[in-house]
Structure 1
């Protein structure tokens, strides 16, 4: 959340000369409502089912850069699907995360106490991110351009 996956993903796709797809955007388009609304109206489990289907479809249909929501790795089936792909984990520390996300209520999992909730989410997820990651790239104090360049170098990819 707030790590810059959408910005970096788009920049990475552009530099590689491939398409960009964000599974969160796919869900919003298919459902016709915001993710926060899905969480509020149907709950997290309903959203996670939609997310799992969106990730499966994106990986099957898209050859370019795919950005996943932060909770996508919670599903063991999704982690298995990611095993055949290059996966970049964009990491950052809690202070950077809070600075970037602020107290944004549109992020349903951070609505009450952002620092505490972000730490708890990362404690529960970090090992899963690391499990599926081909490379880990820190984003703290770096511009999207610097992060994108680091991803290209880490994956040893050539720009077009």
Structure 2
């Protein structure tokens, strides 16, 4: 079993929204590894960061991604930092992975003040820029292809992905 598509990208790129649209289009389930972690732990990502630290969260994230890649055949959205783990990047090989690319301005608008996002505490714009600078090359490395999301509706982004994948499915 393998996901039909795995969506990666930074916070604010639209993974959750685009994932739902694709799942609806194809009549498959959508799964989000951040939601899997929250459900399993019975608390939010922010609470896990505060109570247990980022290292513990990343450990939970690696396990959640591995489980989802093995057991899910619909649309899978990964948390923004999931691709930081070598083990996760290795597991993504052979899967259809789409990088939802977002620029700094659109990302900041979409995440707002980031109060529920532990990595954005402090100056949101500078934190988002640092995360984009750090992670974009990694997203590009694991992606089968990339889709720009700036200035576009989630429906338009989902349509581009669907057309590209339906052409090879």
TM-score by length of 2: 0.90
Given that residues 23 and 30 in structure 2 are in contact (C-alpha distance below 8 angstroms), is that contact kept between their aligned partners in structure 1? yes
Q: Counterparts of 2:115 and 2:51 in 1: how far apart (Å)?
A: 15
Given that residues 101 and 149 in structure 2 are in contact (C-alpha distance below 8 angstroms), is that contact kept between their aligned partners in structure 1? yes
Residue deviations 1:42-81 (CA, integer Å, cap 9, x gap)? 1111000000000000000011111000000000110011
Given that residues 65 and 88 in structure 2 are in contact (C-alpha distance below 8 angstroms), is that contact kept between their aligned partners in structure 1? yes
Question: What is the RMSD of the two structures over their aligned residues, measured on CA atoms?
Answer: 1.4
State the Cα distance separating 1:158 from its structure 2 match: 8.2
Matches within 5 A, 1:5-154: 5-154=15-164
Bigger mean CA deviation after superposition, 54-63 or 102-111: 102-111
Other structure's SS at 1:136 match = strand
Bigger mean CA deviation after superposition, 99-108 or 47-56: 99-108
Residue deviations 1:88-138 (CA, integer Å, cap 9, x gap)? 100111011111111121011111111111111111111110000011001
Given that residues 105 and 111 in structure 1 are in contact (C-alpha distance below 8 angstroms), is that contact kept between their aligned partners in structure 2? yes
Other structure's SS at 1:155 match = helix
Q: Which runs of 5+ in 2 are unaligned?
A: 1-10
Superposition misfits of 4+ residues, deviation over 2 angstroms = 153-159
Q: Counterparts of 2:44 and 2:83 in 1: how far apart (Å)?
A: 20
Q: Counterparts of 2:168 and 2:84 in 1: how far apart (Å)?
A: 31
Given that residues 5 and 90 in structure 1 are in contact (C-alpha distance below 8 angstroms), is that contact kept between their aligned partners in structure 2? yes
Task: Report how many aligned residue pairs link the two structures.
Answer: 159
